[in-house]
Amino acid sequence: MLAVSAPITPRTRGLIGPSQIELLKPGSYLLVVSRGKIVDEPALIQALESGKLAGAGLDVTATEPLPPDDPLWQAPNLIITPHTSAGSDLTWSLTWSILTENIGRFIRGEELVNVVDKELGY
């Protein structure tokens, strides 16, 4: 199984394409829960149709919402969810704790935690 949870940056856009899929063992699964456009969707469809991949799960797609006529809907052994993998009680609890911590740090003039590096893009 290959699980993709990378941020979308110039370096990760198109990161998983035909060459990377070919490196997977036959019958592997692909799970993508981060950002669309990291996976080459036509290559994914081809790998599913050929049986190279046993299945895949996408919580993200290059276009969201996914249009009704998108070929991903017809791909075999593919589960598509509506970009909700990050939504859990644990995620919201962590988000609020980081916000609360950073408000206190900001007021005290301290360095914030979990700051995005604008050059890296995450």
12 Cβ neighbours under 8 A, 6+ residues apart: 6, 35, 38
Among candidates 70, 25, 22, 66, which has minimal Cα distance to 46? Answer: 22
**Sheet-wide strand order for 28-32:** 2-4, 28-32, 53-58, 78-80
Look up 35 and say whether it is catalytic. Answer: yes
The catalytically annotated residue of 11, 64, 105, 110 is 64
60 Cβ neighbours under 8 A, 6+ residues apart: 32, 33, 34, 35, 36, 83
Look up 22 and say whether it is catalytic. Answer: no
Look up 64 and say whether it is catalytic. Answer: yes
When computed from its CA atoms, the radius of gyration of the chain, rounded to whole angstroms, is 18
Residues involved in catalysis: 35, 64, 83
